[in-house]
């Protein structure tokens, strides 16, 4: 019988020992020096030889040729393109039938026994700009749902009105209410849901063309409905670089950069699965931006096709503490794009938003 090292296990050094991590079965165990040496000989198919090799096969560190385990590894399908890091994370955070979940009462007791929770909002030093108070957009909800589209063609001659900019921030990221949870601390309520009401996502507006606002990089202070200026405005080339070369990123009136404060969520959910909640949170928030922008007569897009490292540098983020997750771009739609979307809403031909530029394959 021929065997080889499983493609699903991961090896890492910890406290001077080589550890085998089996994410599929949620097991970790230290390997002896002898086991480490033996495994090197099974990097590719080889005949099973000896008691130690049999033990490693029984432990699923090795897989047998033609076995169900081998067949499963050969049928990874899309996971091959996603790569080993994504496969490992998915399996490590995938729950098993034997996993135990705490009740709400047990969870509350655990949280009360911890030291104080991380701050529910992030504060920055810098010049502050108070944004105008806003009312909710007076539109029919079903109309907004039907009209929601991704917009990639913006009007270069029409800045975003300041009241619309302020309303979008207020009704998507602003604090609606605060709840004092006894023995735990303050929880925020917003229009978008968040796992455990942790709301880890901070919003950094990058203003390019908003009426009455100096272009620049800002942080949105959610409690005070204010902007805090962090840095001068990046040029269009940098905006395109940040967003993978997409030209519409440099044509929107402003970008909303989303970054999650890890401790805020991990304090309540100290497990690998919490990272999934961060991604879900930015999805909830970006969809709320879509709907609110639509209600305000603005166009928007979301992209995760970004160069994270330069964005982190520009926003002053440190990935061990705060991770960049994606971007919404918002602006006034180009008149031709507005007409196209209106015709589509009225029953015309369905199509995607593509500006007439070379990047989209539609002109110079």
Residue 174 in tokens: 């602003």
Question: If you average pLDDT over residues 330-348, what whole number do you get?
Answer: 95
* pLDDT for 339: 94
pLDDT at residue 170 above 70? yes
Q: 166 and 291 share a domain? A: yes
Specify burial of residue 171 (Cβ count, 10 A radius: 0-12, 13-18, 19+): buried
User: Does some domain include residue 120?
Assistant: no
**Structural domain count, the chain:** 2
Q: Do 147 and 294 belong together in one domain?
A: yes
Same domain for 316 and 172: yes
Q: Which of 68-72, 84-88, 284-288, 356-360 shows the lowest per-residue confidence on average (mean pLDDT)?
A: 356-360
Per-chain mean pLDDT for the chain: 95
Q: How far apart are CA 175 and CA 221, in angstroms?
A: 10
pTM of the model: 0.94
Shared-domain flag, residues 311 and 186: yes
Looking at the predicted structure, is the pLDDT value of residue 362 above 80? no
Q: What pLDDT score was predicted for residue 298?
A: 98
Q: How many residues does the chain have?
A: 364
Evaluate whether 136 touches 234 at the Cβ level (below 8 Å). no
Residue 114 lies in a domain: no
Say if 160 falls within a structural domain. Answer: yes
Its domain, for residue 43, covers 2-93
pLDDT at 57: 97
Query: Are the C-beta atoms of 89 and 272 separated by less than 8 Å?
Result: yes
pLDDT tens readout for residues 3-16:
999 999 999 999 99
For residues 58 and 196, membership in a common domain is answered with no
142 shares its domain with 86: no
State the pLDDT at residue 238. 97
Give the model's confidence band at 363: pLDDT under 50 very low, under 70 low, under 90 confident, else very high.
Answer: low
Has residue 358 been placed in a domain?
Answer: no
Q: 181-189: list long-range contacts, CB under 8 Å, 24+ apart.
A: 183/108, 183/111, 183/112, 184/108, 184/111, 184/112, 184/117, 185/116, 185/117, 185/120, 186/120, 187/120, 188/120, 188/121, 188/222
Residue 290 has pLDDT above 60, yes or no: yes
The answer to whether the beta carbons of residues 256 and 208 sit under 8 Å apart is: no
Same-domain check for residues 139 and 228 = yes
- Report the CATH number that the domain containing residue 200 is assigned in CATH: 3.40.109.10
Q: How many whole angstroms from its chain centre is CA 152?
A: 21
pLDDT band at 195 (very low <50, low <70, confident <90, very high): very high
Average pLDDT over residues 290-299: 98
Which band of pLDDT confidence, cut at 50, 70 and 90, is reported for residue 364?
Answer: low
Within the chain, where are the H helices? 33-40, 51-58, 68-74, 78-82, 84-93, 104-113, 141-147, 162-172, 236-242, 262-266, 274-295, 308-315, 335-345
Tell me what pLDDT residue 35 has. Answer: 96
Residue 117 lies in a domain: no
User: How far is residue 296's CA from residue 290's CA, in Å, rounded to a whole number?
Assistant: 10
The count of other CB atoms within 10 Å of the CB of residue 100 is: 4
Q: Which residues have C-beta within 8 Å of that of residue 236, sequence separation ≥ 6?
A: 250
Q: Distance between CA atoms of 322 and 328, rounded to whole angstroms?
A: 18
Do 156 and 77 lie in one domain? The reply is: no
Q: Is residue 327 part of a domain?
A: yes
Same-domain check for residues 84 and 142: no
Counting residues of the chain whose pLDDT is more than 70, the rounded percentage is 99
My answer on whether 216 and 147 are in the same domain is: yes
Domain boundary among the residues 77, 93, 109 is at: 93
Quick one: which of 260, 256, 246, 241 has its CA closest to 325?
Answer: 260
Q: What's the pLDDT score for residue 270?
A: 95
The residue-averaged pLDDT of 267-292 equals 97
Q: Please answer whether residues 31 and 19 qualify as being in contact, where contact means their C-beta atoms are separated by less than 8 angstroms.
A: yes
> Is there a single domain that holds both residue 224 and residue 298?
yes
Q: Which residues contact 246 (CB under 8 A, 6 or more apart)?
A: 152, 240, 303, 305, 359
Last residue of a domain, one of 48, 66, 93: 93
Q: Give the tokens for residue 318.
A: 């440190």
Domain identity same for 201 and 75: no
Overall average pLDDT of the 198-206 stretch: 98
Residue 19 within any structural domain of the chain? yes
For 64, what's the count of Cα atoms within 13 Å in the CB-facing half-sphere? 12
Hey, how many other C-beta atoms are within 10 angstroms of the C-beta on 6? 22
Please count the other Cβ atoms lying within 10 Å of the Cβ belonging to residue 14.
Answer: 10
Is residue 143 one of the residues assigned to a domain? yes
């Amino acid at each position: 019988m021929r065997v080889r090292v499983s493609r699903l296990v991961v090896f890492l050094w910890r406290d001077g020992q080589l550890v085998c991590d089996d994410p599929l079965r949620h097991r970790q165990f230290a390997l002896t020096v002898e086991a480490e040496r033996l495994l090197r000989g099974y990097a590719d198919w080889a005949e099973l030889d000896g008691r130690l090799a049999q033990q490693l096969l029984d432990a699923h560190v090795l897989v047998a040729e033609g076995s169900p385990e081998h067949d499963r590894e050969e049928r990874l399908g899309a996971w091959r393109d996603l790569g080993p890091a994504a496969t490992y994370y998915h399996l490590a955070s995938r729950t098993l039938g034997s996993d135990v979940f705490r009740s709400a009462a047990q969870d509350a007791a655990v949280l009360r026994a911890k030291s104080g929770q991380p701050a529910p909002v992030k504060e920055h030093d810098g010049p502050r700009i108070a944004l105008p108070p806003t009312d909710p957009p007076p539109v029919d909800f079903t109309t907004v749902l039907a009209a929601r589209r991704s917009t990639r063609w913006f009007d270069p001659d029409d800045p975003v009105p300041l009241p619309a900019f302020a309303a979008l921030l207020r009704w998507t990221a602003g604090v609606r209410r605060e709840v004092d949870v006894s023995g735990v601390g303050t929880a925020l309520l917003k229009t978008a849901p968040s796992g455990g009401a942790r709301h880890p996502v901070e919003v950094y507006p990058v203003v390019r063309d908003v009426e009455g606002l100096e272009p620049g990089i800002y942080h949105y202070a959610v409690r005070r409905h204010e902007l805090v200026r962090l840095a001068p405005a990046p040029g269009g080339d940098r905006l395109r670089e940040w967003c993978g070369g997409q030209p519409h990123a440099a044509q929107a009136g402003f970008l909303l950069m989303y970054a999650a404060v890890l401790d805020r969520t991990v304090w309540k959910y100290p497990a690998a699965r919490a990272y999934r909640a961060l991604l879900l949170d930015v999805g909830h928030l970006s969809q709320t931006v879509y709907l609110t922008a639509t209600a305000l007569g603005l166009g928007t897009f979301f992209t995760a096709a970004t160069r994270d490292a330069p964005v982190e540098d520009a926003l002053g983020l440190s990935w061990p503490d705060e991770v960049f997750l994606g971007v919404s771009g918002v602006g006034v739609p180009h008149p031709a794009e507005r007409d196209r979307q209106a015709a589509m809403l009225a029953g015309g031909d369905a199509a995607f938003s593509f500006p007439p530029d070379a990047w989209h394959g539609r002109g110079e």
